[in-house]
Amino acid sequence: MGSPLRPAGAPSACSRLGAALEELWISLFAWLPTPLGVALRLLAWRWLFAACGSVRFGTGLTLSACRNMRLGNGVRLGRGCFVTAGGGSLILGDNVAVSPCAHLGADGGRIEIGAHAAIGPGTVIRAANHRFERQDLPIMRQGHQPGEVLIEDDVWIGANCVITPNVRIGRGAVVGAGAVVTRNVAPFSIVGGVPAREIGRRA
């Protein structure tokens, strides 16, 4: 039960302070260019995560709730990516490549991406959706419905895709640019469109 001054589920003052300090620390190193910046970010940030291998952090990243993230060896996060896991879990396997300006939002849910997966620029992967059942309450005040996204090994997701909660993308699948994935994708299939549907198979 929440205190009279703080609704149930609201972050405590201590957790808000921790989030602010994490944001400040990340911002100190996020802008540094050149390979020196890449090296400094790894040294400065790796202790923030539950697990962090030899990750290449690009410039201009936004990271939140790093303690809920596990990043494997050879992971690459491109410039301007937005990666969050407040109240959730994010796992990136070895050699996952996330292109610039992608958004991985594991807040309130779970995202797991297998080894050697490639995520195209501008792609959005979310593990939770807004609730909207009630009409007497603004959607923004109805909270979120948690879910999970599982992307298996060796998947290629093209540019500007949207991956919605509660889908599994099978090993070796290809998601065409601009697709909106709302249901499971079979291994080694090629999907595209809105909503995404199978348009081919890898020979």
Task: Give me the average pLDDT of each 10-residue run along the chain (203 residues).
Answer: 46 84 93 92 96 97 97 98 97 98 97 98 96 92 93 98 98 98 98 97 89
Q: How many residues does the chain have?
A: 203
Phi, psi values for residue 38, rounded to 5°: -60, -45
Q: How is residue 25 written in tokens?
A: 């620390």
Supply the angle between the helices 34-45 and 13-30 in degrees, to the nearest 10.
160
b/e 127-164 (16+ beta carbons within 10 angstroms → b): bbeeeeeeeeeeeeeeebebbbbbbbbbbbbbbbbbbb
Cα–Cα distance, 87 to 107 (Å, whole number): 6
CA distances from 150 to 97, 159, 170 (A): 16, 18, 8
Q: Which residues share a beta bridge with 161?
A: none
Is residue 130 among the annotated active site residues? yes
Q: Locate tokens 């999907």: which residue?
A: 191
Residue 89: helix, strand or coil by DSSP?
A: strand
If you ran DSSP here, which 8-state letter would residue 47 be given? G
pLDDT at 2: 43
59 touches 30 (CB < 8 A): yes
pLDDT at 10: 61
115 touches 94 (CB < 8 A): yes
